[in-house]
Amino acid sequence: MLQDIINLKTDKATWWILPVIQGYVQIEKCKVEMGIDEQPHYEIFNLAIISRRSRFRAGTRYKRRGVDDEGKCANYVETEQLVWYHDHQVSFVQVRGSVPVYWSQPGYKYKPPPHIDRDEAETQLAFEKHFTEELSLYGPVCIVNLVEQTGKEKIIWEAYSNHVLNYNNPDITYTTFDFHEYCRGMHFEMYLFWSVNWLQY
């Protein structure tokens, strides 16, 4: 909506241009105790987290699912974690979104069963559009599929896995983690154990 005003390239136009994100920003100064002597020594660093939700296919849970014809996922969020320490900076970026296949959860009851909405050939086109854009933005990608591998979500898990295999791109690493199975009973620390073990391989 602001592109015409931006294209004017005049200082007077800047009063009408307000960058806005749908997301979250927090920046904190952190202190870490160093050394083992009696006099504690502290190192200071800055930590920031910035999450930006895409304007494409934003919506409420259950009502907005899957991918569209342009490869845009529902409820897509990019989160960047940044650390500043003296003259050094490091950044870690992760994205999350609805599984990039054509699927939906029609109905208004709690946790309605998901449905695959289009055939495999149609879905593969949208799936590849999605990951072509991801690879152009971020380079090599590591996918962590958090969908339940049994029960109602099994058809989504299978569809996602099949489309990754069909795409067969060497710049994509694919792994699955049944979050609900491993973290059953609110034991979220199990995710940390899994992450450490996975990184060792």
Confidence category of residue 193, pLDDT binned at 50, 70, 90: low
Is the pLDDT higher at 192 or at 62?
Answer: 62
pLDDT of residue 1: 66
Residue 136 banded pLDDT, cuts 50, 70, 90? very high
C-alpha–C-alpha distance, residues 156 and 147, integer Å: 7
Of the two residues 138 and 60, the one the predictor is more confident about is 138
Residues whose CB is less than 8 angstroms from the CB of residue 137 and which lie 6 or more positions away in sequence, other chains included? none
CB atoms within 10 A of CB 48: 14
How much of the chain exceeds pLDDT 90, in percent? 54
As to burial, measured by CB atoms within 10 angstroms (0-12 exposed, 13-18 middle, 19+ buried), residue 13 is middle
Rounded mean pLDDT of the chain?
87
Place of tokens 């996975």: 198
Q: Please state the rounded mean pLDDT for residues 2-19.
A: 83
Rounded mean pLDDT of 132-149? 94
pLDDT (tens digit per residue) in 61-105? 777 899 999 999 999 999 999 999 999 999 999 999 999 999 998
Nearest to 103 by CA among 169, 161, 153, 171: 153
Q: Residue 116 — very low, low, confident or very high, per pLDDT cuts 50/70/90?
A: very high
Q: d(Cα 165, Cα 150) in Å, to the nearest integer?
A: 19
Number of helices (H) and strands (E) in the chain: give both, helices first. Answer: 5, 8
